Amino acid sequence: MIITREPEFLPETPNVFARLGRAVLLSCRESGRALLMTGEAFLHMRTMFSTRSRFDVMYQLYITGVKSLGVITVVALFTGMILALQTGLELRRFSQQVNIGTAVCVSLTREMGPFMTALIVAASVGSAIAAQLGTMTVSEEVSALEIMSISPIRFLVMPRLVALLVMMPLLTVYTDIIGIIGGAIVGKTQLGVSFRAYFDNAVAFAHNKDLYVGLFKAMVFGVVITAVSCHQGFCTKDGAVGVGLATRKTVIVSFLTILVLGYIITRVFYK
């Protein structure tokens, strides 16, 4: 697949409907290209252990996984605390506050864990990918790679895809654990639920299925973030302004896609 594309010049139209129609057609085309690119990156994954790719893959794993850990810890802790407090206060009216264990555990593993992790990774890692690839595109570095017959998809996209596919589930598990601990702290200090009662309750009613669905979501979100950020990066034009725009669009489009897909996946698995 050729990444460097010719500049396009579409005629101006004053007609609102024509403009709307064009916007729809263009976004369909862009999504298609992003999907094709991601598909090709999946095919290139068979070379991920070769000497020429190994280092890049390792480096991306490190950047994606380790660098986001700090902010994810804080967000996860407070997500768990808010969940516990919110549901706990309601449950206390029926003297059922011991059930916050289940409430926090299920909603974190199934929904909030992957969702919060994906939002943070999209905002930090995704926007960084878009900015880097965007800068490379406008300074013709991507064209230079293509001229040297080095596939930008293998060289740039594949390591990032691997990193996000591996790290998203790991980070999600981490978010789940920290969040559940946050819930326990709130339960103990504010709702009078002992740690023992909290964890017993969590283990008794949570299903493995919740965890698996959550991890599946995390992987899907990882693919979404890679596809959106790399595609936006490669489509960058007009210098520094364009790089800013690509970053912005990456965050917006990945947030929306994550939100919608998150709903759809839950819907499919829980009738």
Partner 1 sequence: MIRFEHVSKQFGSKKVLDDLSFEIEKGETFVIIGRSGMGKSVTIKHMVRLLSPDKGRIWIGDDLVSEARGKELSRIRLRFGLLFQGSALLQWLTAGDNVGLPLRQGSNMPQEDVDRLAEEKLKLVDLSDVFHKHPSDLSGGMQKRVGLARAIITDPEIILYDEPTSGLDPMTSRTIDALIESLRVKLGVTSVVVTHDLHSALSIGTRIALLEKGKMVEISTPQEFIRSKHPAVRDFLDANFITKKPDWETHPS
How many Cβ atoms are within 10 Å of 91's Cβ, its own excluded? 18
Options 45, 48, 123, 146; binder of partner 1; rule CB under 8 A: 146
Q: Is 147 in the site for partner 1 (CB under 8 A)?
A: yes
Contacts of 13 (CB under 8 A, 6+ apart): 19, 22
Q: Is 3 in the site for partner 1 (CB under 8 A)?
A: no
Q: Is 155 in the site for partner 1 (CB under 8 A)?
A: yes
Q: How many residues bind partner 1 (CB under 8 A)?
A: 18
Options 9, 17, 49, 94; binder of partner 1; rule CB under 8 A: 9
Q: Which two tokens stand for residue 43?
A: 């095919």
Q: Is 238 in the site for partner 1 (CB under 8 A)?
A: no
- Closer residue to partner 1, CB minimum distance, 30 or 146: 146
Closest separation in Å from C-beta 251 to partner 1: 23
The one segment of 64-72, 87-95, 111-119, 134-142 that binds partner 1 by CB under 8 A:
134-142
Q: How far apart are CA 16 and CA 24, in angstroms?
A: 12
- DSSP tag of 270: -
Closest separation in Å from C-beta 151 to partner 1: 9
Q: Which two tokens stand for residue 178?
A: 């920290």
Q: Which of residues 40-59 bind partner 1 (CB under 8 A)?
A: 52
Q: How far apart are CA 53 and CA 158, in angstroms?
A: 9
Q: How far apart are CA 174 and CA 178, in angstroms?
A: 6
HSE value, Cβ hemisphere, 13 Å, CA-based, for 123: 10
Q: Is 197 in the site for partner 1 (CB under 8 A)?
A: no
- Residue by residue, what is the 3-state secondary structure of 115-130? HHHHHHHHHHHHHHHH
- Closer residue to partner 1, CB minimum distance, 152 or 183: 152
Options 7, 70, 208, 267; binder of partner 1; rule CB under 8 A: 7
Chain centroid to Cα 46, Å, comes to 23
Closest separation in Å from C-beta 56 to partner 1: 10
- Closer residue to partner 1, CB minimum distance, 25 or 144: 144
Q: How far apart are CA 64 and CA 78, in angstroms?
A: 22
CB 68 within 8 A of CB 171: yes
- Closer residue to partner 1, CB minimum distance, 2 or 268: 2
**Residue (of 153, 84, 137, 115) closest to 245 by Cα position:** 137
The one segment of 132-140, 189-197, 214-222, 251-259 that binds partner 1 by CB under 8 A:
132-140
Options 27, 139, 189, 194; binder of partner 1; rule CB under 8 A: 139
Q: How far apart are CA 265 and CA 260, in angstroms?
A: 9
Q: Is 136 in the site for partner 1 (CB under 8 A)?
A: yes
Residue indicated by tokens 């290139």: 44
Which residues of this protein are in contact with partner 1, per CB under 8 A? Answer: 2, 4, 6-7, 9, 52, 136, 139-141, 143-144, 146-150, 155
